[in-house]
Amino acid sequence: MSKLFKVIHNVTTGEIEQVDLTAEEIAVIKADEAAAIADAETKAKREADKEALLVKLGITADEAKLLLQ
């Protein structure tokens, strides 16, 4: 894996600096990525469950919306 870094741009002087991320910053990024993957999986499962229920009931999503109004 290549080293991760952040770019710091001083707009006053125009200086641009690359700084390696700390272990804590990398841990936060990895935790955020894991949370995003878990959220996507949860959303996909919820959508699959909704579709399965609609098939079981024999109605479309639009018909289900009409029932809930």
User: What are 55's two structure tokens?
Assistant: 């098939």
Q: What's the pTM? A: 0.66
Determine the Cα–Cα distance for residues 42 and 40; give it in Å rounded to an integer: 5
pLDDT digits (tens, 9 = 90+) for 19-35: 999 999 999 999 999 99
The pLDDT value given to residue 2: 80
The pLDDT value given to residue 23: 94
pLDDT digits (tens, 9 = 90+) for 46-69: 999 999 999 999 999 999 999 998
Determine the Cα–Cα distance for residues 43 and 34; give it in Å rounded to an integer: 14
Backbone angles phi, psi at 12, to 5 degrees: -75, -45
**How far from the centroid of its chain's Cα atoms is residue 59's Cα?**
31
In the chain, how many H helices and how many E strands?
Answer: 2, 2
